[in-house]
Chains A and B, each alone.
Chain A
């Protein structure tokens, strides 16, 4: 399964929200859609789900224009919201039914998920009596109960404690393993880095970077070294301006050329007591900050 966004453009009045946005997400893998607030992530998601049409461009599933059936998508919106005064089972069943499930199947699926997420005892409670984390898990069930092939998770980890975050991670991994397309939109880069094979970074409505995350990282020049040592002062004295501090007992050493790497590494290991020495690889956070702060 392959979901393709091809040259999607969208304007609201004078404002151009998406400009020629293209990316590809594959089944059995998670895809990260990143960008600062207002970059166009939610608009992209809404176009994907046909809340409104794109001005131009197309969305393809396995090379064909996507046929959006009510069961196609599972969506966890960033702004969580269900009916606060309704009982959990009642509203989850309603949402599953709206997604095309028969009532009996809907109840069975919802019960299964409540069990899976450790919330079977909340079945007949009113939503507003639950904690924020539990409400979030309930919301997650609305995205998963009807077993959609494409799952869109907008900031899924916000507000979850570490135990619940791990539970959610397990659930997401299971869904990915079942061959589904999981589309993440998040600002929490560590989670994206953990899950996503591919990403697209949006800035000002344009895709400024996209592709396989590992390849993106490798494409960055390997001309910096990360060092951890208690002799940072001495190292700086030797290498001068090429060193910049990087946290406590840490240094970042810029090389004049990647070819200097063996020489510098050898010198450092021979002359100093090092705790760590490796080629610096930018984190997703670094990549995001550098891409998203460039003027679109």
Chain B
């Protein structure tokens, strides 16, 4: 235990003081800050622009059918608030139009061809010009109002009918699927990234120790179980410190800017994970991390050269990627979340951290299923941990060509 503590401390300090670790963490924090503050900053600039353009805008609607002038004026004035709307029955020719748009104080013109089609004319078409979208709707309203008044409905009443808004409220009896989906997605993705990154780090650390032959000395100084658990738990801690820093920053920045994000309640939902679910998340996250970290560590101790570590971990990585794809597909459809595939995957130790968490968050899971899945996973973590320590111990004997799995297991049995 004392040795475990020393190894744990040494490895943790190693990881936390690595320049790349600090750099990546700071970079992620900076990205989070930029993203969460973006609407606030963007709003500052947006306000200025509106003040400048609001008064200056003047638009021309030409070719308006006889008798429809008042309707068109009313509708376009509503659609372009603050704009001066000029109405004409005739359509100006090209030269006149050029003159109006360049020096005539008109910022854009809509040349109608009946009630349902028009040509939009503007001097320079900007990338952010949404006037046609607004005009489409305005003209459609004008057409309907015209039709209603033509069939005897008074103009005011017609306007009321067309502009009556529909309101709605949402009552979700169980969880809000969209919010659940988002944080399930984000958490599974985070687990995926963290395991991938830290798995590789563990594998290459062990491989580096072996290729630098420091392992030769370590294996004669400490028991391999302390060594393996010390290493893996240290990287687990480093991973969680990084995640906590990133998600903590996200949470704080989001709270500071909550008002700016009101339009996107889904984002808010990301930070409103129910407590119970969060506990499951942590549990599955830690166990899943440990399971794969031990596997990566074991694989790292079978290679002699650091360069071989990347190819050696391929089978573990493939297993993990397949799990990720299956679970991601599983959570994308209502029917699939509790389907056979997801059920099976939620009990297999290599996939249960993702699959069972997804099912708890988004599907219907019985308590016994969770207990069974967690027990299987915990037992596997211990099993894989002990096995990886044994492989680590015999790994020091296996220099040269990488051993086949069968030879490796034989060596573990013999040692």
Chain A positions near chain B (C-beta within 8 angstroms):
11-13, 46, 49, 51-52, 70, 73, 75, 77, 79-84, 94-95, 97-100, 142
Contacts and interface: CB of A to CB of B under 8 A. Distances in A.
Nearest to A99: B221
B217 A142 contact: yes
Contacts of B214: 81-83
B interface, over-half SS: helix
Contacts, number: 57
A82 B415 contact: no
B7 interface: yes
Contacts of A100: 2
A81 B415 contact: no
Contacts of B213: 77, 79-81
A222 to B, nearest CB: 43
A227 B222 CA distance: 55
Contacts of A83: 209, 212, 214
Given A12-B411, A12-B414, A81-B212, A97 B220 contact: no
A11 B415 CA distance: 10
Interface in B196-223: 209, 212-222
Given A12-B411, A51-B393, A70-B3, A98 B216 contact: no
Contacts of B396: 51
B212 A51 contact: no
A98 to B, nearest CB: 5
B215 A81 contact: yes
Contact of A82 (B10, B217, B397): B217
Q: Which 9 A-B pairs have the closest CB atoms?
A: A81-B213, A79-B213, A77-B216, A52-B415, A81-B214, A81-B212, A98-B221, A49-B220, A97-B6
A81 B410 contact: no
Contacts of A70: 3, 221-222
A81 B6 contact: no
Contact of A73 (B216, B219, B220): B220
Contacts of A80: 213
Interface in B382-403: 393-394, 396-397
A94 B215 contact: no
Contacts of A98: 3, 6-7, 218, 221-222
Which of B209, B214, B396 has the largest number of chain A CB atoms within 10 A?
A: B214
Contacts of A95: 217, 221
9 contacts: A51-B219, A51-B396, A79-B213, A82-B212, A94-B6, A94-B10, A97-B6, A98-B3, A100-B2
Contacts of B394: 52
Nearest to A146: B221
Nearest to B227: A98
A122 B411 CA distance: 40
A95 B227 CA distance: 13
A99 to B, nearest CB: 6
Residue with the greatest number of chain A CB neighbours at <10 A, chosen from B10, B209, B219: B10
Interface residues of B, number: 25
Nearest to B14: A86
Given A83-B212, A84-B212, A98-B222, A77 B217 contact: yes
Interface centre among B209, B217, B393, B410 (most CB of A within 10 A): B217
A13 B7 contact: no
B212 A13 contact: no
B351 to A, nearest CB: 35
Nearest to B396: A51
Nearest to A78: B216
A97 B215 CA distance: 16
Nearest to B210: A81
Nearest to B211: A81
Nearest to A84: B212
B216 A81 contact: yes
Contacts of B397: 12
A100 B223 CA distance: 13
A79 B216 contact: yes
Contacts of A82: 212, 214, 217
A75 B220 CA distance: 8
Nearest to A75: B220
B6 A51 contact: no
A222 B282 CA distance: 79
Contacts of A99: 221
B2 to A, nearest CB: 8
B393 to A, nearest CB: 7
A81 B217 contact: yes
Interface string B1-30: 011001100100000000000000000000
Given A52-B415, A81-B216, A83-B214, 8 more contacts: A51-B220, A52-B394, A75-B217, A77-B213, A77-B217, A80-B213, A95-B217, A98-B7
A98 B224 CA distance: 12
A46 B217 CA distance: 11
Interface in B153-192: none
Contacts of B411: 12
A97 B9 CA distance: 12
Contacts of A84: 212
Nearest to A98: B221
A84 B306 CA distance: 14
A38 B214 CA distance: 21
Contacts of A49: 220
A100 B415 CA distance: 25
Interface in B364-409: 393-394, 396-397
A13 B414 contact: yes
A52 B395 CA distance: 12
A79 B6 CA distance: 24
Nearest to B221: A98
Nearest to B399: A79
Contacts of B216: 77, 79, 81
A13 B393 contact: no
Contacts of B215: 81
Contacts of B217: 75, 77, 81-82, 95, 142
A238 to B, nearest CB: 57
A83 B11 CA distance: 12
Contacts of B7: 98
B175 to A, nearest CB: 48
A46 B6 CA distance: 23
Contacts of A81: 212-217
Nearest to B410: A13
A12 B393 CA distance: 15
A82 B217 CA distance: 8
